[in-house]
Structures are given as structure tokens and as C-alpha cells.
Amino acid sequence: MKTIIFVLAIVSLAAAQQPAIRKDRQVLFDFRPNHEMAPGKIPPATERMVLSKVFRKYLTDANRCNSQFDAGDNLDPLAAARKAGQIVPSIVDMENGSFTAAGQSQTLYVIFVSECNASHADNFGSKRVAIFSGQQLVADVDADSKSDIVRKTDLDSDGIDELLMSSSYMGQGTLVQMATLASFPNGRRRVIEDFGSVVEDSCASGFPGSASQASVLYISDVVPGNMPKLTQENYSASCRRMKRWQLVSTGKRDQ
């Protein structure tokens, strides 16, 4: 009997020392693991249909870009290139859902516009979101450089899907990834939360002090009709093969 009481006491003590399970949040997305983005293959006929309805004119071969094209005094040279048809667009991602209104059967396409002569400073061109109901174009908006669909959600259960989207770039061996949660009610892009940088990995640079930094995004319990609270935890790890992540901050990381 004493042995049983002793064992129960040890179990109770161990349970008391374990961190309490938090029931007020769940993971929206964990950027710490390496994620392979594999968008579905777009049939050529579908891509031609989409691009022809989004753009009045465009090129299908970058070799046909006019290297002498001059945007003149236009304050937005990318817009000037789009207007002149000096673009080589392609679809880079897609998702099905209800994006502009509840109860719709729609397809959202992410388009890399690839304006001719766009430089690294221009992110090599703009990105757009085009939403179709069947073959009818119902929305065409700038994607603010976001080109990858990370996750589709309907956090407030209003029947309109939101998209967690990201963009990334590599410079001097450092990978940086940015993320935004946005929706497209009535065909307009609405930013719900701009998380800023969610990945900064300098391991490929080989510089002293290189490290991996990545964020985990959380949401509070989902209540129909209300957008849950969004929180962000930021972790850091050395560049070893088996990364041991340590929490370093909460909230949006410094840019």
C-alpha cells in the first residue's frame, strides 16, 4: 500500500512539473521546418485563357522583350511596362475556394507578371492575384510581391476564404521569407495581418555567426463570426544538421 501511495505521489509531482497544455491557441503555420512548395500543374490552355483575360497584351518569350523600352517619366516603370505589353507573365500558384463572397466556387491564380527589364530592386517584376468563377474574371489585384500560397483558411467562419501567402528572396547566402494573411472580399485585397519576416536563414552564407531564424504563427480558439487573435513566436537555431530551436521573441520581428 505504501508503495502504491509513493508511486502515485511521484506521478502527481511529475505531472505538476509539466507545462500546462494551452487550450487557447493552435498553430496556424510553423515556418521552422523546410517546406517544399509544390503548386499544381496548370494546363497550357488554362494558362492562356487566364493570362489573355488579365492582360490586354503580353509576350510569351522573354527574348522578345524590347531592351530599348523606355518608361519615360512614368513614376511606376513596371506599370508602364504592363501597359505597353512588355511583360512575360506566367502562373506560379493556384487555389480553389470562395474568395470574393461566400458560397462561390472560384479559382484563384497567382501570376508572376515578369515585366521586361525588371531588376532585383523590382523583385524581378510584380505579382498579381486573379480570381475566376469558371472562365469569368471577377478580381484582378496586386499581390504585394506575395507569390506562394502557404495555407487557405476561413478563420472567422464567414464562408470567405483567407490566404496565408509568402514571398522570399536570397541575397549573399541569406534566405528571407515574408508572410501576410489576406482576404479578397468583393474582389479587393484586405490585409488581415502582416507578419513581416518569418524566416531569415543565413546558414548558406558561411559567415561567422550564421543562424536560422523562423516564426511560428498561432491563432486563438476559433469562434464563428469573429476573427481569432493572431500571435507570432520567433525562434533561432544554429546551423547544425539537427537544429535545436530556442524561443527568442514574440510579435513581429524587426525588419
Identify the band that residue 14 occupies on the pLDDT scale cut at 50, 70 and 90: very low
- Pair 96, 103: CB distance under 8 Å: no
At residue 224, does pLDDT exceed 90? no
What is the SS3 assignment for 118?
A: coil
Output the nine-digit C-alpha cell for 6: 509513493
Cβ-contact 162, 181 below 8 angstroms: yes
Q: How far apart are CA 66 and CA 82, in angstroms?
A: 13
Q: Is 44 helix (H, G, I), strand (E, B) or coil?
A: helix
d(CA 212, CA 68): 42
Single-letter code of the amino acid located at 80: A
Report d(CA 91, CA 113) in Å as an integer. 8
Coil, strand or helix at 5: helix
What is the tens place of the pLDDT at every residue in 132-180? 999 999 999 999 999 999 999 999 999 999 999 999 988 888 899 999 9
pTM (predicted TM-score): 0.85
Is the pLDDT confidence value at 207 over 60? Answer: yes
Contact call for residues 185 and 192 (beta carbons, < 8 A): no
Q: Give per-residue pLDDT as tens, 46-62.
A: 999 999 999 999 999 99
Give 168-173 contacts, CB < 8 A, sequence gap 24+.
168/199, 169/123, 170/204, 172/205, 173/202, 173/203, 173/204, 173/205, 173/206, 173/207
The C-alpha atoms of residue 230 and residue 195 are separated, in whole angstroms, by 10
Q: Which residue is listed with cell 512575360?
A: 88
**Interval 61-89 mean pLDDT:** 89
- Residues 6+ away with beta carbon under 8 Å from 244: 237, 238
Binning pLDDT at 50, 70 and 90, where does residue 219 land? very high
φ/ψ (deg, to 5) at 112: -90, 110
What beta strand segments (E) does the chain contain? 25-30, 90-97, 106-112, 127-133, 136-142, 148-153, 162-171, 174-183, 190-201, 212-220, 230-237, 246-250
